Amino acid sequence: MMKIFGIGEDFLIYDSMDQVFSKLSPDDVIHFTSLLTISSKAYEISDTIEKLWEKEINIQILDPEIWLSSASEAGNLLREIVAISRSDTSNRLTAARRKKQAEDPNFHTGPAPMMDMYEVAKYRESHTIADTARYFDISISTVKRYTRNAKAAKQENN
């Protein structure tokens, strides 16, 4: 027996989709008022639709009126659009990273390299916290933490 489910405005929470999926059976139809009811993020929409299609659940979007099944033309078009979007985002990020690396030889991806806390603490002895932060290009809280940790380590060694 085919069941029909409706998801209205502000009802569906992406993280709780597994609860909804557990109640669905193959050939059921789930209605969404719009694609944005699923999520505002393209990858979450795509992931949700793929999960529904894996369970052979059909999707009806009410505004605009679209019938999405894994075999429908609209479904195939949506797959292609999401793939292009993901590829485009990846390409733009890679291009921006390469451009930044070419412009700034000190540019790196990932966390900032660790400073030597003893070097920072020693410099801090004769300079203000703000001057030390600017000199090492670190935050004021990092200067305070390094100074505190260097002092504690020095006390442990004595």
Give per-residue pLDDT as tens, 21-51. 777 788 888 888 887 777 777 777 778 888 8
Residue 2: pLDDT band with limits 50, 70, 90: very low
Residue 1: pLDDT band with limits 50, 70, 90: very low
User: Using CA atoms, how far apart are residues 32 and 24, in angstroms rounded to an integer?
Assistant: 15
Give the start-to-end residue ranges of the domains of the chain. Answer: 4-84, 117-157
Pick the CATH number of 4-84 from 3.40.50.1390, 2.170.130.10, 3.40.50.10490, 3.90.950.10: 3.40.50.1390
Give pLDDT tens digits for 94-149: 888 888 888 887 776 666 667 788 999 999 999 999 999 999 888 899 999 999 99
Single-letter residue type at 117: M
Give the number of other CB atoms < 10 A from CB of residue 23: 10
